[in-house]
Amino acid sequence: MNNQEVTSILLVGVGGQGMILASKILAQVAIERGLDVKLSEIHGMAQRGGSVVTQVRLGPAVNSPLVEKGQAEFIMASEQLEAWRWLPFLKKGGTVVLSTQTINPMPVIIGSQKYPQNIAQRVEKAAGRSIAMNAFKMAVAAGQPRAANVVLLGALLREMGIGEEEGLAALTAVIPERFLEENRKAFASGYHFEK
C-alpha cells in the first residue's frame, strides 16, 4: 500500500474468530500514518457461527465504508472456505492471505453438501498472489490458540509493505498488555512466514 491511494481490505471468517481485533490493528496503522480510515462490520446474527466479513479502507480520504466485488487489494481469510466464498471481491492481481483451517458449515455437517476441495490451490491460481498457512497451528505454537488472526495479520501487513516494527507498534496499541507476549509472537510468526 502507499499513502496516496485508498487501499481496500476484506477480512473474512466465521463468527467468533475475532475478525474485529484484526481490523482495529489495521485501523491503528492508518491512524499512526495520519491516514483516513473506515471500517464496516456486520454483527447481530454474526455471533452465531455464520460467515462474517469486516471491511477496511484506508487512504488519504475515504468515502465509502464498503469493499465491493472486484475492489479488494487484499483478502485475509481465517478459514479457507470463506476465502473461496469471498474471492469475487478480490481485485484482479490482488493478494489473498488465508488459513488452511477448515470449519464445516451446517450444510456439510448434516451431509447435504460437500466441503469444496483443493481450495488453497484454487485460490493460488486465481489470485495475483496467495499465502496459505495453518494459522491456527501457528497460533498454538505461539502460545495463544485464539491469536490465529494475529498470525494472518502479520503476513497481511508484510504483503501490504508495512514494516514489522510499525505493525508491532499498532498491535501493542490495541491489545491489552497481559496478552501482548503471545500476540507479538503470533504476529512475528505470520510476518516471517515463508510459503
Q: Which of residues 113-172 bind another protein (CB under 8 A)?
A: 113-116, 122, 125-127
State the nearest-atom distance from the C-beta of 22 to another protein, in Å: 14
Spell 105-135 as b/e; 16+ CB within 10 A means b: beeeeeeeeeeeeebbebbbeebeebbbbbb
Q: Which of residues 26-65 bind another protein (CB under 8 A)?
A: 27, 31, 36-51, 62-65
Q: Are strands 36-41 and 51-59 parallel, antiparallel or unpaired?
A: antiparallel
Q: What is the DSSP letter of 57?
A: E
Say which residues have a Cβ less than 8 Å from residue 185's Cβ, sequence separation at least 6: 142, 143, 144
Question: Between 81 and 135, whose beta carbon lies closer to another protein?
Answer: 81
Choose the stretch contacting another protein; rule: CB under 8 A; options: 80-88, 165-173, 177-185, 187-195: 80-88
Binding status of residue 71 toward another protein by CB under 8 A: yes
Given candidates 1, 9, 11, 14, which one binds another protein under the rule CB under 8 A? 14
Q: How far apart are CA 94 and CA 83, in angstroms?
A: 13
| Alpha carbon distance, N-terminus to C-terminus of the chain | 21
Rule CB under 8 A: which residues touch another protein?
Answer: 14-15, 24, 27, 31, 36-51, 62-66, 68-71, 81-82, 84-85, 87-92, 94, 104-116, 122, 125-127
